[in-house]
Structure 1
Amino acid sequence: MDPTQDRDSPEAVIRRYSDMVYRLAFARTGNRSDAEDLYQEVFLRYLTRAPAFTSEEHRKAWLLRVAVNCANRFHTAPWRKRTEPLSEALSVPAPEGEDLWEELRRLPERDRTVLHLYYYEDMTTEEIAQMLGRNPATVRSQLLRARAKLKKLLVEEG
């Protein structure tokens, strides 16, 4: 079998990008079940549309863009306005980094998104701006404000 075909197989692509798509979906939604729904939607679109890519970076950008678009539609869905979030009643020991995630969840979605793309997906402010349809200077300002908000939350928590 040709190694390039295996590398571009749907299974290989999903394995390669599953963590990235899930992390972004989780950062945008703030809970696992919604993140899993968005994750499935992104890869369903990948499989059904079978887009052609010029490079691996193009494929990565396409998957991230679809994840952002799906999350945007998710937040504006009419059914979402008529639901109440479930409370997390069970208490489990927090894995390392869970405290930071809890503080991140307290930030507005816009702040969580730019922080996630910048720190977890290693994207530049220019790449984030292009993906979100914003000016790079706006993204840099959002990052600055988001960092300040996160720092304030972390200081308040002690």
Structure 2
Amino acid sequence: MENTSSGTNDIVVKALNTYSDMVRRICLMYLKNEADIEDIFQNVFLKLLQHKEPFENAAHEKAWLCRVTINQCKDFHKIFFRKHVCSIDDLEIPTEDKTEEGVLWEVLLLPQKYRNAIYLYYYENYQISEIAKILGKKENTVHAHLRRAKAILKNRLRGFEDGNYF
């Protein structure tokens, strides 16, 4: 980051304009609560504001923001209060919904390790090798998570007419 406050602000504003949707979607995968999403969103861009090292390129900045967002969400779940509230995963959601929102709910209900791989691969268009670096996993592990997630979704979504979501 540049030392001048206006230069730093320019970098953060540019990052907000470029990556805010991505950060919100990652937060949604983990938190599923608008107020919590806003808290983590602010924390992520505050960390960017405090980040002193320059990024090598835009891809490095994007990967850094993905990793920080994931870490912030995981840390948020470690808070004592969060462990003692009802999660959306515990709620029964009707699966007869044949709309795109029904598919989205099914993706959100996947186990976290599969949800991360699906999101980064299909929504952020990362390659498997890049996902492995972001998540700190081996490429074969990421490949297996994608394959298993697709199998779970295929079984859950069998009733869809066109079924070509993935």
Verify same fold: TM over 0.5: yes
Normalized against structure 1, the TM-score is what?
0.81
**Could you say which residue in structure 2 is the equivalent of 1:91?**
none
Structure 2 SS opposite 1:46: helix
**Could you say which residue in structure 1 is the equivalent of 2:110?**
107
**Could you say which residue in structure 2 is the equivalent of 1:62?**
64
Code of the aligned partner of 2:136 = G
2:144 to 136, 141, 144: 141
Deviations 1:99-138 (A, max 9, x none): 2111112211111111001100001111111111110000
Structure 2 SS opposite 1:100: helix
Q: Distance in 1 between matches of 2:144 and 2:151?
A: 11
**Could you say which residue in structure 1 is the equivalent of 2:83?**
81
Deviations 1:72-114 (A, max 9, x none): 21222222112234899xxxxx9x6312111112211111111
Deviations 1:19-73 (A, max 9, x none): 1111111122233332222212111111123441121111111111101111221
Structure 2 SS opposite 1:155: coil
Kindly indicate whether residue 37 of structure 2 is the aligned counterpart of residue 49 of structure 1. Answer: no
Comparing 71-80 with 106-115, greater Cα deviation is found at 71-80
The count of corresponding residues between Structure 1 and Structure 2 is 148
Closer, same or farther in 2 for the Cα pair 1:108/1:156, shift >3 Å? Answer: farther
1:127 to 126, 130, 137: 130
Closer, same or farther in 2 for the Cα pair 1:19/1:57, shift >3 Å? Answer: same
- Identity percentage of aligned residues: 36
Contact 1:28 1:113 in 2 (8 A): no
CA RMSD of aligned residues (A): 2.6
**Could you say which residue in structure 2 is the equivalent of 1:38?**
40
